[in-house]
């Protein structure tokens, strides 16, 4: 790798290696192409050195290929980034750190993403990594997904893609209730109705957990019904807040809509729409207003890219939200 | 069950904003005066699109373009679409773009025409009514500077300078004034109508990531502050070099010149950020207080001193990039007897405890060898060198170089031993480049600044007293240059390093850094 970088730099001295983070990705070999595409769609937020381990059932040998890519703008510094693809078998996973450790760039944060589980590989790499990318929407049970987060929290900083799917919703709810005329209503929320895609209940629970933790609600387990529908009441200290979560048909993972109703006369709903969120405000006097909140969909690639970028940041509200979400799903 | 502390919502702090990267922007109507002009076309409208794309515009956002050109609303929307498609830093999402332009309005008329402001008032009221609340108002003056006082006064006369239940702000593009007297006059005219906290004077350099990183580097690292003073720093050089000529801007440029175009605003702002004391908090007033102290510590030259501390010149013919180019006086639209400088170099001193005796050299020019904006902090040499005379380049003073363009980043030059059996030293660079360290695209400066104006954060905008202090430094130089109608203006060869006359400015055995 060093020789390749030196050779590139010698051929064009305006090329310099990117040094942001190591990204270690563990995938099933048959899905390698799909994961590579997803990484491609992450845009500029990617590892400066990506190490992709493709696990193939029955394989006993190791094969690897290293490549250096670069952009070469005419009048600016060109940036090089490196990719190492390793084909390996399940028997290599318990000692995977001995393969990965010599390859990572030392002194940079190392991020692990293992979208197809491979828990033994994760266990092996925990001492080596700084950040782990998980997706709590990946597991059939949100409760299990939240437990998985807890199981690694002492070893690495956790970035949960299910949490990042709620980012625009959190930002928009925060903005909507930032107006002085609405801010006081946050203390009088009486119902929270969240709709999500099939399989994205963790995102919904995290959004509810975020509101609960930010607004001081005492979270209690919600009843789980057929079709991943959850409902129940939590306390805001003075009154009960009804929480309802249900599935909604949509293609993209994540949330489909959120409605917050406040006593005595405000309800605000945000719905996923084309080119942004469709907002509807209903007041007690019957006034209804609708508008569009602009914003392009990030897509799953963009969410992954955001996850990689978050590896360089620290988010103070995730853990309180997760704690509340665990209460809501009775963990 | 987790017991959670109840949150007090009786105050105004919004508990939902904690930890968010994007702070809420209150619903806003943005009015752009000069909406059909070049700045709006190339910068403002694409910046607004990118804010919309990233979901950073307020939940209710309305836009009105005001211009003298006769256009229908639909033609203005077409122009906006074209601006975004041509100049946006990302390919537009047509659905977001459609949403942005959908109900954008255009008000046509002369800026002195009362009916323009009446129409504006009606449209703003219509937006408020539709939203069911009064939206904040931001008036963005992207016009020729002559119109700033007129538009400001007309907004006041039409009662648009304030509105019950919402904030009204005015953003004023550069140049703010033509000299100290006109800047004071303009400040007075604007402040007759708006209060200072409503006024956002733009210097788009302050929105650049590297400029903001100057503060991060100085105040988030223990490494630099101990040497950031006259005991260790020998000199500072700030350069803003361009390889191009004036192009089609003769009308503007011949009236302005290099000193007004770049030194009075961008370069002196850089100097202030570099030399200021650490602010006690990173907010608009504290930061601008500290910058102002630096600017006020720069003693303006007397008329007799100008020749010793300032050099002006014009580019002559030459060769740039292998092609012959004409001199400034042969450019289209430039009078053949023009005395406008296309190059300016200054030596300034910040007369305070920290910087006494440290020269700050500023240099800007057109048709120089390459495009480069950088700040070089050059330290004093080490007091004693044990391994001199071994035939190497030798030990050179450490330099800390902030590059603003083309490759944003920071480099520290240090002496290192050449591989071999002898103790031979040469300078090498420790480098930090944005492109390699973050792999992320920096937002355009205008995106940040428009957002800040809507947020009501004036940290990266220039205050009235700052503007006057900036003009106070260059005004005596302008006056001395204007008064001298006989001394020939030095010429420098296009594509060369600038006039030889400027070498005399860097005294005490110092030399200009190579461009």
How confident is residue B1, by pLDDT bands cut at 50, 70 and 90?
very low
Phi, psi (degrees; rounded to nearest 5) at A49: -130, 115
pLDDT of residue B9 exceeding 70: no
How confident is residue B2, by pLDDT bands cut at 50, 70 and 90?
very low
Q: Which candidate from B3, B16, B438 shows the least CB-CB separation from A173?
A: B16
The DSSP line for A2-64 is HHHHHHHHHH-TTEEE--S-EEEEEEEGGGHHHHHHHHHTTTT-S-SEEEEEEE-TT--S-EE
How confident is residue B8, by pLDDT bands cut at 50, 70 and 90?
low
pLDDT of residue B88 exceeding 80: yes
Among A294, A303, A306, pick the best mutation site for testing chain B contact (most B Cβ within 10 A). A294
Over range B177-201, report the average pLDDT: 97
Active-site residue identified among B41, B53, B204, B266: B266
Contacting residues of A for B98, CB less than 8 Å apart: 275
How confident is residue B82, by pLDDT bands cut at 50, 70 and 90?
very high
pLDDT of residue B4: 46
**Range in A5-19, B42-56, B465-479 with the lowest mean pLDDT:** A5-19
pLDDT of residue B58 exceeding 70: yes
pLDDT (tens digit per residue) in A294-330:
999 989 989 999 999 999 889 999 999 999 999 999 8
- Collapsed DSSP state (helix, strand, coil) of residue A142: helix
Q: Do A213 and B59 touch (CB under 8 A)?
A: no
The DSSP line for A183-240 is HGGGGGEEEEEEEE-TT-HHHHHHHHHHHHHHHT-B--PPEEEGGGEEEEEEE-SSSE
Q: How far apart are CA B312 and CA B307, in angstroms?
A: 10
pLDDT of residue A48: 87
How confident is residue B3, by pLDDT bands cut at 50, 70 and 90?
very low
Q: How far apart are CA B219 and CA B214, in angstroms?
A: 9
Concerning whether B266 is annotated as a catalytic residue, the answer is yes
The pLDDT averaged over each successive group of 10 residues in chain A (331 residues) is: 85 85 96 90 81 96 93 78 94 95 92 94 95 96 95 95 97 92 90 96 98 96 92 93 95 96 92 95 90 92 92 92 94 70
Q: Are B49 and A295 in contact (CB under 8 A)?
A: no
Over range B20-33, report the average pLDDT: 95
Q: Do A294 and B52 touch (CB under 8 A)?
A: yes
- Collapsed DSSP state (helix, strand, coil) of residue A321: helix
Over range B126-147, report the average pLDDT: 95
Phi, psi (degrees; rounded to nearest 5) at A224: -100, 125
Closest alpha carbon to A203 in A329, A309, A292, A45: A329
The DSSP element (H or E) to which A83 belongs, if any, is strand A78-88
Structure tokens at B288: 């601008």
The DSSP line for A144-184 is HHHHHHHHHTTTSEEEEHHHHTTHHHHHHHHHHTTSHHHHG
Q: Do A177 and B16 touch (CB under 8 A)?
A: yes
**Which one-letter DSSP state was computed for residue B292?**
H
Q: Which candidate from B1, B15, B54 shows the least CB-CB separation from A214?
A: B15
Structure tokens at B291: 């910058």
Q: Do A279 and B18 touch (CB under 8 A)?
A: no
Structure tokens at B219: 């105040």
CA B243 to chain A, closest CA, distance in angstroms equals 13
Phi, psi (degrees; rounded to nearest 5) at B211: -65, -45
């Amino acid at each position: 790798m060093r020789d390749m970088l030196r050779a590139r730099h010698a051929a064009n001295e305006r090329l310099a290696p990117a040094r942001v983070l190591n990204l270690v990705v563990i995938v099933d070999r048959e899905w390698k192409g799909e994961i590579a595409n997803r990484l491609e769609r992450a845009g500029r937020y990617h590892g400066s050195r990506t190490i992709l381990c493709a696990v193939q059932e029955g394989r006993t040998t190791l094969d690897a290929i290293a490549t250096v890519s670069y952009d070469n703008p005419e009048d600016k510094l060109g940036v090089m980034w490196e990719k190492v693809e390793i084909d390996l078998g399940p028997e290599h996973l318990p000692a995977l750190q001995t393969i990965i450790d010599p390859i990572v760039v030392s002194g940079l944060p190392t991020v692990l993403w293992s979208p197809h589980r491979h828990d033994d590989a994760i266990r092996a790499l925990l001492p080596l990594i700084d950040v782990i990318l998980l997706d709590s929407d990946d597991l059939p049970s949100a409760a299990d997904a939240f437990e998985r987060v807890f199981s690694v929290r002492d070893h690495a900083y956790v970035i949960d893609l299910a949490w990042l799917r709620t980012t625009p919703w959190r930002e928009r709810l925060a903005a909507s209730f930032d107006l002085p005329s609405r801010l006081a209503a946050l203390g009088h929320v009486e119902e929270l109705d969240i709709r999500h895609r099939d399989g994205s209940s963790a995102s919904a629970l995290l959004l509810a957990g975020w509101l609960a933790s930010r607004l001081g609600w005492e979270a209690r387990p919600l009843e789980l019904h057929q079709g991943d529908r959850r409902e129940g009441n939590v306390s805001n200290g003075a009154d009960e807040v009804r929480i309802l979560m249900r599935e909604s048909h949509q293609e993209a993972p994540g949330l489909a809509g959120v409605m917050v109703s406040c006593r005595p006369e405000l309800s605000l709903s945000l719905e996923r729409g084309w080119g942004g969120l469709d907002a509807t405000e209903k007041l007690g006097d019957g006034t209804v207003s609708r508008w569009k909140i602009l914003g392009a969909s990030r897509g799953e690639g963009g969410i992954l890219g955001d996850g990689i970028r978050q590896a360089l940041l620290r988010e103070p509200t995730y853990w309180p939200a997760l704690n509340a979400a665990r209460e809501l799903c009775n963990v | 069950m987790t017991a959670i502390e109840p949150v007090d919502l009786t105050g105004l702090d919004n508990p939902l904003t904690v930890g968010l990267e994007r702070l809420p922007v209150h619903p806003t109507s943005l009015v752009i005066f000069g909406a059909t002009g070049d700045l709006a076309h190339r910068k403002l409208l694409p910046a607004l699109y990118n804010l919309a794309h990233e979901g950073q515009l307020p939940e209710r956002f309305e836009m009105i373009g005001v211009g003298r050109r006769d256009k229908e609303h639909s033609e203005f929307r077409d122009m906006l679409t074209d601006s975004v498609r041509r100049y946006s830093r990302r390919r537009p999402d047509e659905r977001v773009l459609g949403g942005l332009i959908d109900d954008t309005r255009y008000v046509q008329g002369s800026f002195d025409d009362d009916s323009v402001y009446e129409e504006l008032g009606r449209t703003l009221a219509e937006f408020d009514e539709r939203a069911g609340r009064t939206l904040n108002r931001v008036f963005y003056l992207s016009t020729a500077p002559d119109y700033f006082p007129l538009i400001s006064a007309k907004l006041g006369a039409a009662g648009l300078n304030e509105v019950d239940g919402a904030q009204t702000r005015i953003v004023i593009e550069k140049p703010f004034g033509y000299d100290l007297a006109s800047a004071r006059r303009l400040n007075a005219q604007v402040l007759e109508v708006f209060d200072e906290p409503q006024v956002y004077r733009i210097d788009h350099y302050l929105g650049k990531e590297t400029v903001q990183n100057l503060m991060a580097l100085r105040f988030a690292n223990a490494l630099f502050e101990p040497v950031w003073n006259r005991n260790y720093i020998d000199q500072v050089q700030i350069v803003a070099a361009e390889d191009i000529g004036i192009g089609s801007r003769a009308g503007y440029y011949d009236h302005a010149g290099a000193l007004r175009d770049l030194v009075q605003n961008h370069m002196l702002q850089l100097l202030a950020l570099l030399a200021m004391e650490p602010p006690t908090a990173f907010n608009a007033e504290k930061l601008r207080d500290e910058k102002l102290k630096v600017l006020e510590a720069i003693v303006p030259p007397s008329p007799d001193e100008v020749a010793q501390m300032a050099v002006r010149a014009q580019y002559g013919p030459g060769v740039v990039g292998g092609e012959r180019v004409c001199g400034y006086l042969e450019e289209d639209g430039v009078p053949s007897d023009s005395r406008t400088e296309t190059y300016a170099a200054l030596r300034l001193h910040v007369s305070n405890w920290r910087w006494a005796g440290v020269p700050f050299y500023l240099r800007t020019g057109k048709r120089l060898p390459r495009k480069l904006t950088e700040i070089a902090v050059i330290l004093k040499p080490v007091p004693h060198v044990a391994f001199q005379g071994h035939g190497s380049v030798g030990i050179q003073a450490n330099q800390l170089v902030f590059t603003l363009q083309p490759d944003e980043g920071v480099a520290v030059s240090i002496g290192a031993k050449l591989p071999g059996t002898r103790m031979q030293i040469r300078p090498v660079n420790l480098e930090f480049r944005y492109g390699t360290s973050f792999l992320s695209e920096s937002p355009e400066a205008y995106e940040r600044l428009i957002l800040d104006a809507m947020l009501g954060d004036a940290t990266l905008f220039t205050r009235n007293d700052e503007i006057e202090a900036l003009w106070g430094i260059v005004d005596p130089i302008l006056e001395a240059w204007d008064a001298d109608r006989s001394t020939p203006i030095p010429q420098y060869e296009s594509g060369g390093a600038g006039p030889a006359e400027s070498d005399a400015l860097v005294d005490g055995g110092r030399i200009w850094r190579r461009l």
